[in-house]
Chains A and B, each alone.
Chain A
Amino acid sequence: MIPELGQFALILAFCLALVQAVLPIAGAAVGKREWMALARPAAAGQFVFVAIAFGVLVYAFLSDDFSVLFVAQHSNTALPTFYKFAATWGGHEGSLLFWITVLAIWTVAVVAGSRSQPQEFSSRVLGVLGIVSAGIMAFALFASNPFTRLSPTPFNGADLNPLLQDPGMVIHPPSLYGGYVGMAVPFAFAVAALLTGRLDKNWARWTRPWTVLAWVWLTCGITLGSGWAYYELGWGGWWAWDPVENSSFMPWLMATALLHSLAVTERRGIFKSWTVLLAIAGFSLSLLGTFLTRSPVLVSVHAFASDPARGMFILGLLGFFSGGGLLLYALRASKLEAEGGFKLLSRETFLLANNILLVIAALVVLWGTLTPVFVDALAHKKVSVGTPWFDLYFLLPTLPLALFLGAGMHSTWKITAGAPLVQRLMWPAALAVAAGIAIPVMLFDKTSLLTIVAAAIGLWVCATALLEPVSRLVRRHAAPLTRAQLGMYLAHLGVGVFILGVTFVSAYTVEKDVALRPGDRAEIGGYEVLLRDVRPVTGPNYTAQEGEFELRRNGRLVTVMKSQQRLYPVQQTELTEAAIDTRIGRDVIIALSKDLGAGAWAVRIHVKPGIRFLWLGSLLMALGGLLAVTDRRYRQPVRASSVVEATAKPAATGT
């Protein structure tokens, strides 16, 4: 009975979403206030019913209701409660309902945050969000219903895929979805602006915090995904240029370009076309990413062929939103007029370069990701793109970007004086080059030109990001930085730290597969690993062999590490649970694998210098974004009862 209630709630939510989608936009077009006013209550009502539907599915999991097909496919009575909750998004149908829930949450947030906006505008924003909601709900109701019943009811379920039974995997999808879905908000703002026929500095000011917030979620989601892969898969890999990973990275690149482009539009009233197109591209790639990660539809052509209804629906949705957005752009873009110009050496030029280079980077990733799909579809040949290609050609636009980044932070709007800029940046540049050569050579035995260049660029970004905050700290009479400015410097510092992390991990990682008997040792990367012994252990829904290892350096014991080779009986899956010793400078991973016979065990050992910097950098980026979003000026209500553009308060150079 209760699952049917969930389905009914979803249907009601769908109806409300339709109301939210159609009437406010129609009302704005013909000037009917009553219709426009429906946007907020419809959105709120939609949220309530979506929450009910989601709650019902969670209840079905927690109460072990295996009469629901989705629950039977992804849960088991022996599954720990925490994972029963997370199993809600552990499969296609449930994760789609989760997507809908997250969108409903973003929608009510927009309802609350848009009170100061003119009604013709906010009703259109909510209307577009309603169209997105209705579209995805239609997909869920007609092609991916999570509430389908299973009869006769099995005694127990198939269990959640053991790979997903990990805390990281539990927070990674919600965070990623927060970002994916969040990209619908700037998209809605962009479409609403096109519909209104007006896109000005005020518009940019409204859109920017939402974009940054979605970007923060996306950053966290991707970082968590990378961390999860590293911990759970035990192979020490943090990024494989996998189509699924790429499909979450491309929207991130677009979102990064978008939030920078919005800064220009807000400040100077230019780059309007860029901003609109980036918003449309960001959301389109985000939709593409959602579906690529949740169903193999586009990755495998044959999966598409075996379930054409679902595949067509997805492609239809994608085409509708991106095509609709671009059509609107084609019709209305002539109204987007640039409100100023700028000189060659200026902040605008740096940000233009930023936009261009980020788009190129995204195109590189897109090319590498989609080519196998096309080759398969047209030539029926199976190919995959090697990591070295991605690594090199992704660096081509991004290394120059990092160089520009350092200088761009210290440039001024409209025109920048060359000589003072060079003088200011001379010391950070010198420091970066010197340290970039010194550090690899001193800490490690070998180095390469690429490593030095990359390290120098990473240090350059860190130094230029710290320049302003540190100098203000030292000059006690200087004006304090606003949160937005501080956030910007922090986020860019994060970029620099990230580049350093990637450089050292890529250049100096050491890996070894060894066969060890209890008592044997292996030497790797300056460390010594000794296997003490291997013992059987039992867990809640698995049995395992646990190996105990000693990690030594120069003869002294660093730590004792335990790794397990687990067997999950229900799914009959074997899984390695790796041991990871973390220090700020490096990680050591020991992964116990199969029994090799003759008392020996397969063991994989990695030493990874600098890997923590990678994630620390991402964290700093996200924190910087959060800091910027909480800046005072976004929390000030703006009286914009008339549609005349309000002049923004001139801020000091910085944002």
Chain B
Amino acid sequence: MWKFAIPLVLLVAIGVFFYRGLSLDPSDVPSALLGRPIPEFSLPSLTDPDRSVGSQDLKGKVVLLNAWGTWCIECRHEHAFLLQLARAGVPIYGFNLRDDRASALDWLATLGNPYVASAFDADATGALDWGITAAPETFLIGRDGKVLFKHISPMTAAVWQRDFVPILQRECASTDCPFLAAAGGL
């Protein structure tokens, strides 16, 4: 009689094995840059080619760095939320990848510009240093110029609350983040 249960037992065994193996591995570091200083870079500014945007601008305060491009539909998806964050005072720097300058400027003019400044990386060489493999990606950078968190895929309120705000609350223990009051609840 019990021989009929053999297929089920086999399936459960496989299932357990599968599940164990596929469970999130906590030691899996999503970005090798976590906790490390940001890469040094200096690229022309998107809005003003004579000026440059680089690692200098990102140090000394808590900022976000957001990789985007006009070819990236997902970036459009998160754009509205980025504008909300910017309006709440969060300093966001843009990393414009593999784009056409005119289209990128047009995008910002039409949809709104959440960025303090955007680096223009036409051939994505700068992106390589950051380990940016696709867009959108958003980095949270601390006062000391170290990468605190990296998020791949669109920024949403849920992601902000779940991943970014807790880290910000720890990092901004001193009064270094004037935006936390306004943005912490988004």
Residues in chain A within 8 A of chain B (CB atoms): 69, 72-73, 150-152, 154, 157-158, 273, 277, 301-302, 304-306, 308, 311, 315, 319, 322-323, 326-327, 329-331, 333-334, 374, 377-378, 572
Which B residues touch A306, using CB under 8 A? 152-153
Out of A150, A302, A308, A377, name the residue touching B21 (CB < 8 Å): A377
Docked pose: A330 CA to B175 CA in angstroms: 64
A-B contact pairs, 26 of them (CB 8 A): A69-B77, A72-B73, A72-B76, A150-B76, A152-B80, A154-B76, A157-B73, A302-B28, A304-B22, A305-B22, A306-B152, A315-B18, A315-B19, A323-B12, A326-B7, A326-B11, A327-B8, A329-B4, A330-B4, A330-B7, A330-B8, A331-B4, A334-B4, A374-B21, A377-B21, A378-B21
Q: Which residue of B lies closest to A324 (CB)?
A: B8
Contact B73 A322 (CB under 8 A): no
Q: Is the CB of B7 within 8 A of A277?
A: yes
Is the Cβ of B25 less than 8 Å from the Cβ of A152?
Answer: no
In contact, A301 and B73 (Cβ under 8 angstroms): no
Contact status B4-A305, CB under 8 Å: no
B72 (CB) vs chain A CBs: closest residue: A158
Among candidates B1, B18, B28, B77, residue contacting A334 with C-beta atoms closer than 8 Å: B1
**Which of these, B12, B19, B25, B71, contacts A572 with CB under 8 Å?**
B71
Cross-chain contact B21 with A158 (CB below 8 angstroms): no
Determine the distance from Cα of A273 to Cα of B11 in the docked complex, in whole angstroms: 17
Partner of A158, one of B11, B19, B28, B71: B71
CA distance A291 to B121 in the complex (A): 36
CA distance A333 to B5 in the complex (A): 9
Given the complex, which residues of B lie within 8 Å of A302, measured CB to CB? Answer: 28
In the complex, chain A residues whose CB is within 8 Å of the CB of B1 = 334
Cα of A352 to Cα of B153 in the assembled complex, Å: 51
A377 closest partner in B (C-beta): B21
Given contacts A150-B77, A301-B21, A374-B21, 4 further A-B contacts (CB under 8 A): A69-B77, A158-B73, A306-B152, A330-B5
Contact yes or no, A323 B11, CB < 8 A: yes
Contacts of B11 in A (CB 8 A): 322-323, 326
Q: Are A154 and B5 in contact (CB under 8 A)?
A: no
Closest beta carbon of chain A to B140's beta carbon, Å:
18
Q: Are A329 and B7 in contact (CB under 8 A)?
A: yes
Complex contacts, A69 vs chain B, CB 8 Å: 73, 77
**In the complex, B108 has a CB within 8 A of chain A:** no
Q: Which residue of B lies closest to A154 (CB)?
A: B76
- A333 to B8 Cα, complex, angstroms: 12
The interface residues of chain A lying within 8 Å CB-to-CB of B12 are: 323
- Complex-state Cα separation, A311 to B23, whole angstroms: 10
Closest 9 pairs between A and B when the two form their complex, measured CB to CB: A377-B21, A333-B4, A326-B8, A330-B5, A330-B8, A326-B7, A330-B4, A158-B73, A73-B73
Q: Chain B residue with minimal CB distance to A326?
A: B8
Contacts of B77 in A (CB 8 A): 69, 150
B131 at interface, CB cutoff 8 A = no
Q: Which residues of chain A are within 8 angstroms of B17 by Cβ–Cβ distance? A: 374
Alpha-carbon distance between A158 and B77 when the two chains are bound, in angstroms? 13
Contact of A319 (CB < 8 Å), options: B5, B15, B24, B152: B15
- Cβ of B116 < 8 Å from any Cβ of A? no
Flag whether B32 is at the interface (Cβ < 8 A): no
Question: Per-residue CB proximity of B36-66 to A under 8 Å, as 1/0?
Answer: 0000000000000000000000000000000
A567 CB, nearest partner CB in chain B, Å: 15
Nearest to A375 among chain B residues (CB) is B21
A322 to B17, CA, bound (A): 16
Q: Does B105 contact A (CB under 8 A)?
A: no
> Quick check: B28 and A305 within 8 Å, CB to CB?
yes
CB distance from B72 to the nearest CB of A (A): 8
Least Cβ–Cβ distance between A452 and chain B, in angstroms = 40
Give CA–CA (A273, B6) in the complex, Å. Answer: 12
Closest to B24 in A: A305
Chain B nearest CB from A55 CB (Å) reads 24
Q: Is B111 an interface residue (CB 8 A)?
A: yes
Q: Smallest Cβ distance from B44 to chain A, in angstroms?
A: 22
Say yes or no: B73 contacts A154, CB within 8 Å. yes
The smallest beta-carbon distance between B26 and chain A, in angstroms, is: 11
Kindly report which residue of chain A lies nearest to residue B30, judged by CB atoms: A306
In whole Å, how far is A632's beta carbon from the nearest beta carbon of chain B?
37
A199 to B17, CA, bound (A): 33
Question: Would B25 and A305 count as touching, CB distance under 8 A?
Answer: yes
Query: Known contacts being A322-B11, A329-B4, A329-B8, is A377 close to B22, with CB within 8 Å?
Result: yes
CA distance A523 to B21 in the complex (A): 51
Which residue in chain A gives the minimum CB-CB distance to B21?
A: A377
Instruction: Report chain A residues within 8 Å CB of B15.
Output: 319, 323
> Chain A contacts of B24 at CB under 8 A?
305, 308
Smallest distance from the beta carbon of A332 to chain B beta carbons, Å? 8
B156 to nearest A CB, angstroms? 12
Of chain A, the residue at the smallest CB distance from B153 is: A306
Chain B residues near A377 (CB-CB < 8 A): 21-22
Question: In angstroms, how far is the closest chain A Cβ from the Cβ of B80?
Answer: 6
- Binary flags per residue of B134-161, CB closer than 8 Å to A gives 1, else 0: 0000000000000000001100000000
Q: Most chain-B CB neighbours within 10 Å: which of A152, A273, A308, A572?
A: A152
Q: Which of A302, A308, A326 has most B Cβ within 10 Å?
A: A326
